[in-house]
Amino acid sequence: MKINLVNIKKAKKLLDKGDCVAVPTETVYGLAGNAYSDNASKKIFILKKRPKYNPLIVHYRYIRCLKKDCELNHDFFKLYKKLCPGPVTFVLNLKKDSRISRFVTNNKSSLAIRFPKHPVIRGLLKKIEYPLAAPSANLTTRLSAVSSADVKEDFGKKIKYILEGGKSSLGLESTIIDLRNKPTILRLGALEISSLKKILKKKVLIDLNSKKVQAPGQLKLHYSPGLPIRLNAKNIGDNEAGLFLKKTKKLRKNYFYLSKSGSLNQAAKNLYSTLRKIKKSKYKSIAVEKIPNFGLGKTINDRLIRASRYQ
Ligand code: TXA
Ligand code: MG
C-alpha cells in the first residue's frame, strides 16, 4: 500500500486540533484521537456510543514513546522483539507520570497498547507527537470495520475524516495479552495463541470473560451484524443466509462462503465483510455451518458466538 502524504497531513491537522479520525490498521479500522487529550478521548466514546468503563487501546510507533507511559517488563520485550509491529495488544502497568488521558483508561492503573503494522497508520504516527487512542471504528456491539466504506456505513458524516488504507489484511482484531502478572490472554484475535506461547516458553492463561466483573452481561453481545445467527447449522432454510467456510459445489443464491479453499486465515479475513454483505442482501437471519475450532477458527468461533446473542 502506497502512503499518501497529503492524506496523512489532513489527518494530522484534525488530530492536532483534538478531533477524531478513522485510521486503517492491518487488523480492523480504528477511530483515533490524541491519547494525551481528555477532549479527544471523550469524543471517541461519544461517537462510538461506547460505555465509559470500557478502556481504549493506545497505538505507538516507537518504543521510546511507550517507555514514557508504561512499565515494560521481560515478557513484554521478548514478545515485542518477535511480534511487533503486528496484531497483538499488551496490557501493562501505567506509569504514575504518564500523560495518557484518564478517560482512555477509565482511571485504571493499566493500559492496553499496540504497535500496528499497517504502513498508513505508521506513516501517521511518525508525524504526530502523541500516541493514538483508537478502538475499532464501529458502533458498540456491532461488526468491526475492515474498509473505509464500512466506517462510512456506521458513522456517515459524524467522522470528519477517514484515512484510506484499503481493506485490512487480517480482518480480525488484535489478540490481547495481559503481561502484568502471569501472561493471560484477554481476547482471542488475529494472532494465534501458539505464537505467544512459543516465544514466552511458559504457561499462558486464558481469561476471555474478565469483563463480566466490570459490567455484568453488558458486553456479552458483540461483533453483531444486527441479525439473529444460528450456529453449527446442518440445514439452511430458503429464507435465511447460509454461511460456509468453503465454497460449496451447490452454491445457491442464499449461500455465502468465507474462503474458496476453506483456509481459516482467508476466512478470518473475510468474516466481517461477508456478514456485512449478508446484512445488505436483506436476509433476516444467518445459519452458519460448524467452523473447525483450531488456529484462527478459534477466533472466528469466539466472534460468531458473541454475535449469536443478538435477538
Ligand atoms: O485490532 C485492534 O485491537 C483494534 C485496532 C483498531 O487496533 N482495536 C480494537 O479496539 O479492537 P476495541 O476498543 O474495539 O477493543 C479493545 C479491547 C476492549 O475489549 C477493551 O475492554 C480491552 O481492549 N482493553 C482496553 N484497555 C484494557 C485494559 N487496560 N485492560 C484490559 N482490557 C483492556
Ligand atoms: Mg471493538
DSSP string of 237-300? -TTSEEEEEE--SS--TTEEEEESS--HHHHHHHHHHHHHHHHHTT-S-EEE-----STHHHHH
Atom 15 of ligand 1, nearest CA residue: 135
Hey, which of 173, 208, 296 would you mutate to test ligand 1's pocket, going by the most ligand atoms within 8 Å of its Cβ? 173
pLDDT at 167: 96
Q: For ligand 1, is residue 180 a contact (CB within 6 Å)? A: no
pLDDT of 84-117, one tens digit each?
A: 999 999 999 999 999 999 999 999 999 999 999 9
Q: HSE of 203 in the Cβ direction (CA atoms, 13 Å)?
A: 4
Residue tagged 490524541 (cell numbers): 34
56 alpha carbon, closest ligand: 1
- Distance, in Å, from the CA atom of 92 to the CA atom of 72, rounded to the nearest integer, reads 7
Q: For ligand 1, is residue 89 a contact (CB within 6 Å)? A: yes
- Coil, strand or helix: which one is 110? strand
Q: Is the pTM of this model over 0.85?
A: yes
Q: For ligand 1, is residue 301 a contact (CB within 6 Å)? A: no
Atom 27 of ligand 1, nearest CA residue: 112
pLDDT of 49-98, one tens digit each?
A: 999 999 999 999 999 999 999 999 999 999 999 999 999 999 999 999 99
Distance 55 CA to ligand 1 centre (A): 7
- Locate the ligand 1 atom nearest the alpha carbon of residue 173 and give its number: 1
pLDDT of 142-201, one tens digit each?
A: 999 999 999 999 999 999 999 999 999 999 999 999 999 999 999 999 999 999 999 999
Distance between first and last Cα of the chain: 39
**pLDDT for 217 beyond 80:** no
- Coil, strand or helix: which one is 24? coil
**Domains defined for the chain, CATH in brackets:** 5-206 (3.90.870.10), 229-307 (no CATH)
- Contact status, residue 280 vs residue 227, Cβ threshold 8 Å: no
